[in-house]
Amino acid sequence: MSTKKILILDDDPVVVKALSIKLQAAGYQPLSATDAETALRIVRTENPDLLIVDIHLPPNPQTWTQWSGFSLVQWLERLYQDWHKPVIIISADDPDRHREKAEQIGAVAFFQKPIDHDKLLRTIAGALGTEGSPATRAT
């Protein structure tokens, strides 16, 4: 069985590092980005199996393009019409404000920061159909 690739998109490098460590320990291959343009490049080149996307992203300082996690997912769906990957939305904001929007774009889950890593790993395993793998049984 090939290792599932998971893209983490968050402008906070501490969050990216913590999630990467947890995902790698669970047997996944973490890919990381701290801005939308890098995330789009990774999606094109690496074709991740699942995305973990923060809602708030910084503007691109060269183009001043402003992305949100929501707009990025919607863009991917328009750009690649056969692109249907599970997406998990994360945010430090009030979940009531964003949970409905996450459901509207087809996210499999919404997590408020700080993230419950055990629950996140169970959600990922369910979304990827890897519940029975050795890595997920250990969590």
Top-level class of domain 5-137? alpha beta
d(Cα 29, Cα 26) in Å, to the nearest integer? 9
Residue 56 in contact with residue 68, Cβ under 8 Å? Answer: yes
pLDDT tens, position by position, for the chain (139 residues)? 469 999 999 999 999 999 999 999 999 999 999 988 899 999 999 999 999 999 988 776 676 677 888 888 888 888 777 768 999 999 988 777 778 888 888 899 999 999 999 999 999 999 999 765 544 433 3
DSSP3 helix / strand / coil % (the chain, rounded to 5): 45, 20, 35
pTM: 0.86
Domain ranges of the chain: 5-137
Question: In 3D, which of 43, 52, 44 has the Cα closest to residue 11?
Answer: 52
Burial of 3: CB neighbours in 10 Å, binned 0-12, 13-18, 19+: exposed
